[in-house]
Every structure is written in structure tokens, then in C-alpha cells.
Amino acid sequence: DSASSTAGPLHGRHLVISAGGTREPLDPVRFLGNRSSGKQGIALARAAVAAGAQVHVVAANIDSGLAATLPPGVRITNVESTLELQTQMHAAQAEADAIIMAAAVADYRPAERTDSKMKKTGGEGVTLNLVQNPDVLVGLVESRREHQVIIGFAAETGDPHHSALDYAKAKFRRKGVDLLVFNDVSDDRAFGHDDTAVQILSADGGDVTASAEFHGSKDDVSEKLIEALVSRVECVES
């Protein structure tokens, strides 16, 4: 349609981007969530449209004002929980040339969601039982279509044993992605801030290699990542 009619390197390509952060319901009014704003995913969607792509954003709890900054023609599917995100990502996968998992996904969810509001009882605390969520990204990699490019994100901190980059490299392997956007959050930089620093990890033969660190706004970083994606998509041009 009109939004992608200007030719660009991603003209005719379909991108599916998850954005925001999942919320895991406890009862009708409460959830476990995270602070992800969705700015990075939305910035990626804008950069992808600028490169000519058809974009589908699967948005987990994104502020409507932020969603309104998306260019016309971008399809949005709203989700709340990780299980909903998983369902919608798999539904969207069939049409995707590339998938970017920019959403912050809850690792655990309450084992049960009560239909009525949890009551406060007595003077005691409460213990919540949590179960592990599926790894949506790994599931997408397992059902990857031929030539589909799959990209993950990783915010890591280092510790006395391993650097943040070491952890990101291990995550790259574990996830089976084509590219991993690594964000070193050891000394604060990240959540909510407008500036960020990333390295793009990829596999070069047997080794995981990291690009030079790139600093900039989430829009700058998005442009860089879309450039990296363009070269991947071009590699598989039929």
C-alpha cells in the first residue's frame, strides 16, 4: 500500500517487530510487568518503513501516544501477556521476511490468574507461585521459514567472572538468531533514556563476532540495525 510505495532497500519486504513489555495477569486488576516503554521497537518500525518495508508491530502494552508516532500503513496488533505475544508472533511469522524481537518478555508468569480480585487476608505476607514463560524468540527460530532473518535483543550486565559481551555471545548461540542487538547496561544507560549504545552480534563462520559499539538515539540505532538487516536480506535475494 501507499506507505511502502517509495522504493527503498526493503521495498516489498515484510517485517514483524515486537515492541513494549509483556504483562502477566494476577487477577482482573493486577499484573507483573516491566518498565520497557516500547520506544526501541517503535523506532525500529519507523526506520523499517523509511527503508520501504511493510511493517507489522506486535505491541505489548505500548502507550497510545507512542503508537501514534507510527507512520500510516503500519499494522498494529496489541497484546498483553507473553502467551498472547507468542500466539500473535507465530501467526505473523508466515508472512515475514524478517522478525525483530524488541519486546521485553517476562521470564515468569503467575501460575494461576484468579477470576476475582485477590483479597488481603490477616497480617501476613503472600507468596506468589510463578511458572516459566516459553521463550518466544527460540520458538520462532525453531519454526523459521526458509531465508527468514530473525533478530533478538539482549541487555546484559557483566560480573567478576564474565563480561557483558561474553554473556551476549552465549545468548546469541543459545537463541539461534541471525543477529543479536547487544546493549551493555552495566553502568545504568538504557531503560527510558533516549540515548543508547549497542553492538550487533553475528556469526562469522564458527565464531560469534561483535560490531563496533554504536552510540546514538534509539532512532540512530534503529537505522543502523535496519542497515544490518538490509545486507542480510540482500544476501538471500532470490
Enumerate the active-site residues: 34
Q: What angle do CA 90, 172, 132 make, to 5 degrees?
A: 55
Quick one: which of 153, 183, 200, 225 contacts ligand CTP (CB under 6 A)? 153
Residue 154's binding partner among ligand CTP, Ca ion, none (Cβ under 5 to 8 angstroms by kind) is ligand CTP
Q: For ligand CTP, how many residues bind (rule: CB under 6 A)?
A: 12
**Backbone phi, psi, residue 55, to 5°:** -120, 135
> What does the alpha-carbon distance between residue 108 and residue 192 come to, in Å, rounded to a whole number?
22
The answer to whether the annotation marks 136 as part of a ligand binding site is: yes
The answer to whether the annotation marks 107 as part of a ligand binding site is: yes
Q: How many CB atoms lie within 10 A of CB 173?
A: 12
Nearest residue to Ca ion, by Cβ distance, number only:
107
> Considering only 8-16, 116-124, 150-158, 212-220, which stretch makes contact with ligand CTP by CB under 6 A?
150-158
**Backbone phi, psi, residue 178, to 5°:** -85, -40
Residue 110's binding partner among ligand CTP, Ca ion, none (Cβ under 5 to 8 angstroms by kind) is none
The answer to whether the annotation marks 219 as part of a ligand binding site is: no
**Backbone phi, psi, residue 79, to 5°:** -135, 165
Residue 33's binding partner among ligand CTP, Ca ion, none (Cβ under 5 to 8 angstroms by kind) is none
Task: Write the CA distances from 99 to 16, 29, 64, 67, 74, integer angstroms.
Answer: 5, 32, 23, 19, 15
Residue 152's binding partner among Ca ion, ligand CTP, none (Cβ under 5 to 8 angstroms by kind) is ligand CTP
> What does the alpha-carbon distance between residue 141 and residue 24 come to, in Å, rounded to a whole number?
23
Contacts of 91 (CB under 8 A, 6+ apart): none
Contact flags string 41-80 toward Ca ion, x per CB under 5 A: ----------------------------------------
The three grid cell numbers given for residue 231, joined into one nine-digit string: 545486507
SS3 103: coil
Interactions with Ca ion, residue window 86-125 (CB under 5 A): 107
Q: How far is the CB of 112 from Ca ion (least distance, A)?
A: 21
> What does the alpha-carbon distance between residue 168 and residue 182 come to, in Å, rounded to a whole number?
6
Contact flags string 68-97 toward ligand CTP, x per CB under 6 A: --------------x---------------
Is 157 a binding residue for Ca ion by CB under 5 A? The answer is no
* H or E element at residue 108: strand 108-110
Q: Which residues are annotated as a binding site?
A: 107, 117, 134-137, 153, 171, 175
Catalog residues that contact ligand CTP under the rule CB under 6 A: 82, 101, 103, 105, 107, 133, 135-137, 152-154
Q: Which residues bind Ca ion (CB under 5 A)?
A: 107
